Amino acid sequence: MNTEETRCCVVGTPRETRCCVVGTPREARCCVVGAPRETRCCVVGAPRETRGCVVGAPRETRGCVVGTPRETRCCVVGGPRETRCCVVDTPRETRCCVVGTPREDQG
């Protein structure tokens, strides 16, 4: 039972591939396949394969934009993940671009 309490399988998936974060509902926050549960986690209410947490950041605050590398464009803390994204190669909390606008404009 100890294993079940710490690592929970998503309904219908093997427990060793997708596991819940300790202390959270199994359907809410799950690890990405092949990655440690504390580094890459799904955002609550979002598909586990589309939106993941940035390594070293709280899983509920910073999530990658769908279809973009997690280390290039990330959501600003406290802002909608699809509206404000970090500029490539810049700190995610300093320079953020609005979706659909050139990153130079946000200089």
| pLDDT band at residue 76 under the 50/70/90 scheme | very low
What does the pLDDT read at residue 80?
46
User: What residues does 42 pair with on adjacent strands?
Assistant: 52
Domain count across the chain: 2
Residue 24 lies in a domain: yes
Residue 65 lies in a domain: yes
Q: What is the mean pLDDT of the chain?
A: 41
Instruction: Please report, rounded to a whole number, the percentage of residues in the chain having pLDDT higher than 90.
Output: 0
| pLDDT band at residue 39 under the 50/70/90 scheme | very low
Closest CA to 101 of 89, 84, 76: 84
Closest CA to 22 of 43, 4, 44, 49: 4
Residue 35 lies in a domain: yes
Note if the pTM is more than 0.75. no
Residue 13 lies in a domain: yes
> Token pair of 19, please?
């596991």
Distance of CA 15 to the CA centre of its chain: 20
Same domain, 70 and 99: yes
Determine the average pLDDT of the residues in 6-20: 42
Residue 54 lies in a domain: no
Residue 50 lies in a domain: no
Q: For residue 106, give its domain range.
A: 61-107
